[in-house]
Amino acid sequence: MEALLIILGAIIVYSVITYFWQKRIVKALTEEEFRAGYRKAQLVDVREPDEFAAGHILGARNIPLTQLRMRMKELRKDQPIYLYCQNGLRSGRAAQMLYRKGYRDLYHLKGGFKTWTGKVKKKA
């Protein structure tokens, strides 16, 4: 029982540290803020290809979180990167991965694609 409490405590501490670190490295933007800047940035949808095909923000490039490590070189470090996923969790993890590799101008859509009300493109 004591070991379980120690493990649970460690998980909570890790989660809190990760949360605050993520808030420092990636700026969460409202849809209005996101819309104001994404056209001048690299717009990346980190959802899986089937999610992307079902509907994505017009102009977005699909680099799933599961492929990001291998495809990171497709992104430029000298331009802002606007990330989004379905609800904001994966884009936060993607920002952490990018930050560790030297990317600094990182933004993500607060609430993710499910909150997006702008133009959407779907594969026919």
Q: Answer yes or no: is 109 within a domain.
A: yes
Longest alpha-carbon distance in the chain: 55
Domain-located, residue 3: no
- Residue 78 bears catalytic tag: no
41 located within any domain: yes
Q: Is the residue at 19 inside a domain?
A: no
In this predicted structure, what is the pLDDT of residue 123? 74
Tell me which of 60, 85, 94, 109 is the catalytic residue: 85
pLDDT of residue 75 exceeding 90, the answer is yes
As for how many domains the chain has, the answer is 1
Q: Domain of 119: which CATH number?
A: 3.40.250.10
**pLDDT above 80 (res 24):** no
In a domain, 84, yes or no: yes
- Residues 73-84: what's their mean pLDDT? 97
Domain hosting 79: range is 26-123
In a domain, 16, yes or no: no
Question: So what's the pLDDT on residue 13?
Answer: 78
* Domain-located, residue 20: no
Q: What is the pTM for the complete model shown?
A: 0.82
